[in-house]
Amino acid sequence: MHLRALAVLALAGAPILSAHATDGYFPHGFGLKAKGMGGAAVGMSEDAFAGINNPAAAATAGNRLEAGIDVFKPSRGVERTGPAAPLNASVDSGSNTFLVPEFGYNQQVNDHIGVNVTVYGNGGMNTDYKGGQINCGMGPANVLCGNGQLGVDLMQLIVAPTVGYKINDMHSVGVSPLLVFQQFKAFGLQAFSPMSQDASALTNNGYAHSSGVGVRIGYLGKFGDNVTLGATYSPKISMGKFDKYKGLFAGSGSFDIPENYTIGGTFRVTPKALVALDYQRINYGGVSSISNPSTNMAPLGSSGGPGFGWKSINVWKLGVQWEAMSGLTLRAGINKSDNPVQARDVSFNIIAPGVITTHYTLGATYAVSPKMEVTFAYAHAKENKVTGASMFNSMMPAGAPPILETIRMHQNSFGVQVGWKF
């Protein structure tokens, strides 16, 4: 009951959770120590974020609490060029500053068992384009020919109670039930009404909510004094449907959380320096509302209806950590991922331009006292673009030059986290 109450309170503040520095729409890392190292964390147990980074770390992280917040600033936009001048536009999304909180608590029960609770935003998408940029034949319209503003707001919140068990001094395992809450709204998509199985459940219906239960399992092992390896796995989480948007998402409002797994480790290269390397797989392709091609010739909302066309992606996370002096630890990292968005689906992804592929990160932790530390992290995701043929080409006469659309994004974030040991 207490965990659910915590989630409800977090959902009440959901506008601050609706976007993240992203690999697709998953954050590039969890906890500011990991974020400063490009997200690499599956082989580490230096904070209380075991519920997401590696459940097995709960057995070795000790007694500690972390609370932090990221100031996230994404820049998203779309440009359309072609022979139909009234349709051409260059528009940037508004709502470009978000506060993203995280919380973790770890308690050592005995020499073998540790318990943990982690509360985090698993991911989000947010766009907000002003209306009136183009004329689709019936007066001013937004860039997808709808009325008024255009965009979406998706937030996924997870509460992860965790138990970690130390098998022996070298190996630990852990499990985290995942209590998932998500909300979504879409607006300005009226032009898609003829394509929908239920135009009344397509757009401008306010926030819809759903919940689900999943699991993450983890392993953490030491191999000598200098190598620690870790692995986690979370199967696809079946979520309740967004009934208010059963005319938009394939499967009558279905929006599940994709299967994902991570393997990696840390490698101590000197007494004061280590390198962390993680490989993550996010199987967006296993969720039809995310992965169905936008070119599918079926009604929006049907089981085979159009989606965003996202493909599954590989993510590589590389970080370094250096104990520069007593009480001061410095970090840096890089995060490289595939781009889930394909040129074929550029029109649908105007509202979800998850095209980022590279993050550069910096971080530091300063020990204020033996029991208190402050961590900082900065991330920059350089701009990436995808250009493809617009869906409006189907309205053009044969032989006309193509209408092209380009979606783009870049991101910056800066976060502060306070940690207590007890």
Backbone φ and ψ for 298, nearest 5 degrees, come out as: -145, 160
C-alpha distances out from residue 189 to 197, 201, 203, 376, 392, Å: 14, 11, 6, 40, 15
**Which of 405, 415, 418 lies closest to 353, judged by CA?**
405
Whole-model pTM: value is: 0.93
Q: What is the three-class DSSP state of 22?
A: strand
**Euclidean distance between CA atoms 179 and 177, whole angstroms:** 6
**Euclidean distance between CA atoms 300 and 287, whole angstroms:** 15
**Euclidean distance between CA atoms 30 and 20, whole angstroms:** 11
pLDDT tens digits for 343-364? 999 999 999 999 999 999 999 9
User: Strand 22-23 relative to strand 26-27: parallel, antiparallel, unpaired?
Assistant: antiparallel
Q: What is the three-class DSSP state of 344?
A: helix
Evaluate whether 312 touches 282 at the Cβ level (below 8 Å).
yes
C-alpha distances out from residue 224 to 111, 165, 265, 377, Å: 20, 20, 13, 30
**Quick one: pLDDT at residue 13?**
40
C-alpha distances out from residue 110 to 51, 107, 175, 241, Å: 19, 9, 17, 41
**Quick one: pLDDT at residue 400?**
87
Question: How is residue 275 annotated by DSSP?
Answer: E
**Quick one: pLDDT at residue 21?**
54
Residues 6+ apart with CB under 8 A from 110: none
**Euclidean distance between CA atoms 129 and 95, whole angstroms:** 9
Q: CB neighbours (10 Å) of residue 96? A: 16
Tokens of 382: 């350089």
Q: What is the three-class DSSP state of 192?
A: helix
Q: Give the DSSP H or E segment for 252.
A: helix 250-253
Tokens of 267: 């490698």
pLDDT tens string, the chain, 422 residues long: the values are 343 333 333 443 444 444 445 899 999 999 999 999 999 999 999 999 999 999 999 999 999 999 999 999 999 999 999 998 999 999 999 988 898 899 999 999 999 999 999 999 887 889 999 999 999 988 899 999 999 999 999 999 999 999 999 999 999 999 999 999 999 999 999 999 999 999 999 999 999 999 999 999 999 999 999 999 999 999 999 999 999 999 999 999 999 999 999 999 999 999 999 999 999 999 999 999 999 999 999 999 999 999 999 999 999 999 999 999 999 999 999 999 999 999 999 999 999 999 999 999 999 999 999 999 999 999 999 999 999 999 999 888 888 899 999 999 999 999 999 999 99
Residues 6+ apart with CB under 8 A from 357: 336, 337, 338, 339, 384
Our CA angle for 296, 299, 304, nearest 5°, is 50
Q: Taken in order 227, 315, 41, 379, is the CA torsion positive or negative?
A: positive
